[in-house]
Structure 1
Amino acid sequence: MAGSVEKKLTDLGIVLPTPASPIANYVGFVRTGSLLVVSGQLCLDAEGKLVAKGKLGAEVSVEDGQKAARMCAINVLAQVKAALGDLDKVVRVVRLGGFISSVPSFLDGPKVMNGASDFMVTAFAEKGRHARTTIGVSVLPLDAAVEVEGMFEVS
């Protein structure tokens, strides 16, 4: 039976996809004590297609970057669901880290990352407010525009 967070997502029309398998020598998540760390998730849709490909400040707009960051956050939650079985076991979203593939002059990485941050607050309300880092990078796997990682306090 789905908990209150999953019900909220369902009411918003959001279905968590099957978590993507790691593409190298790492795991999708690690739990140690009450911390759950989720590896970086790309902006892949349910069919495994990138929501945004390329660089911010070139072929990808801020708005499309925000949609990509939101999709990354959905994929982060898919990993959390796989780890815990129930999103209601999230006590707090502790931190998100965002990697924005961008041209050197692009300065709106934090605006792009709001797509992921806003989604976490929508899903978890006050428990979704978190610390955050946003880093511009020259390239991401598969030429993805955005990648997001997360850390959660869990019960």
Structure 2
Amino acid sequence: MNVELRLRELGIELPTPLGPAGNYVPAARVSDLVYLSGMGPVRPDGSFVVGKVGNGGLDLDAGREAARLTGLQLLAALRAEIGDLGRVRRVARIFGMVNCAPGFNRTPAVIDGCSDLLVEVLGDAGRSARSAVGMAELPFDIAVEIEAVVQVSA
């Protein structure tokens, strides 16, 4: 699959990947696996989506959009690491964390924003194993943080 062509067909332009916010790397390759550090939701203007999903904060749709924006960051970091997204064999796993208001338990529906994007861009290779959990707080009050493990070809 020509992923760059697919991105153009979908009208998706990947952002410039953000650098780390601490003493770590955005991506670490071990054999045919790339481990992507936790990324957050960055809008096209460079601002972050912040706040809690649920009662009185961000609604479910805003949470899903935050997860989609986070997926774009993951793809951008992956492309920076491997050069060509056509080398993706499979997104093996994503781990999604949602900054939740008390009582909000629809975290899988929020992380679907990222999962749907990965399948839209990568086809079946984007369909992964997944966890979606709620957190009391996330760094910098971001709404969503997602990390991934991706299998790539040589």
TM-score when scaled to structure 1? 0.94
Query: What SS does the corresponding residue of 1:91 show, helix, strand or coil?
Result: strand
Amino acid at match of 1:57: G
Give the equivalent residue in structure 1 for 2:52: 55
Residue in 1 aligned with 2:39?
41
Q: CA deviation at 1:94?
A: 0.4
Q: Distance in 2 between matches of 1:130 and 1:23?
A: 26
Report the count of equivalent residues.
152
Cα distance, 1:45 vs structure 2: 2.0
Runs of 4+ aligned residues of structure 1 deviating over 4 Å after TM superposition are none
Q: Secondary structure at the match of 1:47?
A: coil
RMSD: 1.1
The correspondence of residues 23-38 of structure 1 with structure 2, limited to 5 A, is 23-38=21-36
Tell me if 1:116 matches 2:114.
yes
Q: Which runs of 5+ in 1 are unaligned?
A: none
Contact preservation (8 Å) 1:18, 1:46: no
Query: How big is the shift at 1:9?
Result: 1.1
Matched ranges for 1:5-154 at <5 A: 5-50=3-48, 52-58=49-55, 59-154=57-152
- Partner of 1:134, secondary structure, is strand
Taking structure 2 as the reference length, what is the TM-score of the superposition?
Answer: 0.95
Report the secondary structure of 1:103's partner residue. coil
Gaps of 5+ in 2: none
Query: Could you tell me whether the CA contact under 8 Å between 1:56 and 1:101 is conserved in 2?
Result: yes
